[in-house]
Amino acid sequence: MSYVIGVILLAVITSLACALPGVFVVLRKNSMIVDGISHAVLPGIIVGFALTQDLNSPILILGAALAGLLVVLGNEWLSDTGLLAGDAPQGLIFPALFAAGIILVSMDLQHAHIDTNAVLVGDLNLAVFPALIVNGVNIGPEYLYVMLAVLAVNAAFIAVFYTRLKLTTFDRQFANVLGMRTRLLNTAFMFLVSMTVVAAFKAVGAILVISLLVVPAATAQLISKRLSVMMALTAVFAVAGALAGFWIAYVLNTGTSAAMAVFYGAMFVTVALTAKIATHIRRNRRSSKSTAAAISAPNVGAVAGE
């Protein structure tokens, strides 16, 4: 497999792995919690890398995902105490964890040499190394198969728990009445999100991963409120952004993950403006029809009187 094909496939698979759970993240209005997770997993990644010396290690991914889950559990605990309101618990927890991670990176904990820039924005162009060789044949980047596994787990989880995720997303109180263990399901889902964030860390970093998780789903929501349609559109937007981002980066000789994030943002703005213009046109048409009907009503009455 060539280098270019490897980068393109890795970009597409990573974007899809993030976008699928991102649909429920957006619908549940948990985008800022995911932002907190993406920052909080950093110290877990640094410590895990210091122990395993392998960014692709399943142990590192699971350990760091548990660190990200601390944000969710800590946020719920602080919210339940009533001591803090709104998103204040998130503002308390994840900056401290992220700062601890930055300190560990700068200290080169146990010679864990991780570039700070790669931590923040990732590097898809370097994530394709090393290649996986089977019987002397290069079948693509090792990291590609890590993200394929994450994509498969995410797709399987959503397929198995689709109905429950749908119900707890749109009517959590009714789900509780039905006896669903909504908190356990939410914890499992957020652990899945944490695992996805950690797995995508090498490719897009702690900052840009939020773009892959949130923006395709938020863009799809502007077009359709139907969940199945929204998920399909999210996948389309995720793949389109990955491909466009790669070619933008290739032409401008810049970071692929950053180019993807910029394209996702431009795509959202374009769809938002188009949707707003379309809504304005529909309102004007309805207003014109109502006005025309109001003007013609007296004439109809006059004819009836004659």
CATH no. for residue 148?
1.10.3470.10
Residue 226 CB burial class (10 angstroms; 0-12, 13-18, ≥19): exposed
Helix (H, G, I), strand (E, B) or coil at 194: helix
Which positions ≥6 away from 232 have C-beta within 8 Å? Answer: none
Please state the φ and ψ torsions of residue 56, each to the nearest 5 degrees.
-95, 5
Digit-coded pLDDT (tens) for 221-275: 999 989 999 999 999 999 999 999 999 998 888 888 889 999 999 999 999 999 8
Residue 284 lies in a domain: no
Q: Around 236, how many Cα atoms within 13 Å sit in the side-chain half-sphere?
A: 11
Task: Give the pLDDT of residue 43.
Answer: 77
Nearest to 164 by CA among 227, 220, 217: 227
Predicted local distance difference test score (pLDDT) of residue 118: 58
Residue 252 lies in a domain: no
pLDDT of residue 143: 87
pLDDT in tens, the chain (306 residues): 788 888 899 999 999 999 999 999 999 888 878 877 877 777 777 777 777 777 667 777 777 788 778 877 887 777 777 776 666 777 777 777 778 777 776 775 545 555 555 566 677 877 877 877 877 788 888 889 989 999 999 999 999 999 999 999 888 888 888 888 888 898 899 889 988 988 888 788 777 888 999 999 999 999 998 999 999 999 999 999 999 999 999 888 888 888 999 999 999 999 999 988 888 888 877 777 777 666 765 554 444 444
Dihedral (C-alpha) 156, 161, 166, 172: value to the nearest 10 degrees?
A: -140
Instruction: Tell me, yes or no, whether 141 lies in a domain.
Output: yes
Residue 62 lies in a domain: yes
Residues 6+ positions from 181 with CB-CB distance below 8 Å: none
* 299, part of any domain: no
Q: Domain for residue 111, yes or no?
A: yes
Report the first-to-last Cα separation within the chain, whole angstroms: 85
pLDDT reported for residue 72? 79
Determine the structural domain holding residue 128 and report its residue range: 3-208
Q: Is residue 306 part of a domain?
A: no
**How many distinct structural domains can be found in the chain?**
1
**Residue 23 in domain:** yes
CA 60 – CA 66 distance, rounded (Å): 10
Q: Establish whether the linkage from the previous residue to 130 is cis, with ω within 30° of 0.
A: yes
Taking only the tens place, the pLDDT of each residue in 140-154 is 888 899 899 999 999
At residue 56, the pLDDT reads: 63
Cα distance between residue 257 and residue 69, in whole Å: 24
